[in-house]
Amino acid sequence: MKKHISLAVKCPHCGKSLMDKEAPLHGKPSIRLNIQTQQSRGVIHLCSYYECFDYKTDVPLAQEEIVTFSCPHCNKILNSHEKCKICDAPMVSLLLQTGGRVSLCSRTGCSNHYVAFEDVATELQKFYEAYGG
């Protein structure tokens, strides 16, 4: 049986939590981010379970549209210079509260995402302590 891990993330710029207990998805706090498309601005709530691609948003998103993500606290853009290895769109990088980062593709419908650790031994140990092994 596959174990579902709910990740807690924070902004890489201001360090504030991006977790929203007021808008849970699948029983866990969602990840709240501001978004901008070609047509509009709004808010998106991403599922915090790793490998879950469910979300709620107050603006329509077209399939394969590249979305600009920003922090709801400091308003800094979270799209990075790193390109998606699947579709070449900018990746969005968020810091894990336990250390390390999670990156996801900014293109609607692309499923590329990953977790990375800089200090593998220390951050992986914290990750296992927080999320179980």
The ranges assigned to domains in the chain are: 9-131
Q: pLDDT tens across 16-60, in order?
A: 999 999 999 999 999 999 999 999 999 999 999 888 999 999 999
Residue that the structure tokens 């948003």 belong to: 57
User: Do residues 62 and 82 lie in contact, with contact meaning Cβ atoms separated by under 8 Å?
Assistant: no
Distance CA 120, CA 69 (A): 27
Distance CA 56, CA 46 (A): 7
Rounded percentage of the chain residues whose pLDDT exceeds 70 = 85
Q: pLDDT tens across 85-125, in order?
A: 999 999 999 999 888 899 999 999 999 998 876 655 555 56
How many CB atoms are located within 10 Å of the residue 121 CB? 8
Q: How many residues does the chain have?
A: 133
